[in-house]
Amino acid sequence: MQAVGTQAPMDFEWDEAKRLSNLAKHGLDFADAYMLFLAFHVRIEARTTGNERRWLAIGTIDGKPITAVFTTRQSSIRLISFRRSHHGERRKYRALHGR
């Protein structure tokens, strides 16, 4: 688990059909995920699928606990999911951030 203050601006990418599915399922748009990465967040390695390492970024947007599941491709963050944080994720965030 790694605490990250703020992160330098990065490029984000995603599959458009997945963005629309995520928006319908979770009510959150991948286009807003950059806000999570610009603020204090906790980064946890989630799993490796084939050659792809996946990560969780856990933080808050407008005071709401939010988690992004992502992988990195060259200098881009490729979003896989963007949703409200689960209880265990919120607990990990609070352990490092105290809120």
pLDDT at residue 39, rounded to an integer = 84
CA dist 48 to 24, 51, 60, Å?
Answer: 26, 7, 25
Task: Give tens-digit pLDDT for 47-70.
Answer: 887 888 999 999 999 999 999 999
More confident residue, 49 or 4: 49
Assigned CATH topology for domain 2-97: Nuclear Transport Factor 2; Chain: A, (3.10.450)
Which residue in 96, 17, 19, 83 sits closest to 56, CA to CA? 83
The mean pLDDT of the chain is: 88
Task: Give tens-digit pLDDT for 26-41.
Answer: 999 999 999 998 888 8
Query: Which band of pLDDT confidence, cut at 50, 70 and 90, is reported for residue 4?
Result: low
Check: pTM over 0.95? Answer yes or no.
Answer: no
CA distance 21 to 41: 24
pLDDT at residue 74, rounded to an integer = 85
For residue 76, give the amino acid letter: S
Each domain of the chain, given as residue ranges in start order, spans 2-97
pLDDT at residue 73, rounded to an integer = 86
Up-side HSE of residue 30: CA atoms within 13 Å toward CB? Answer: 19
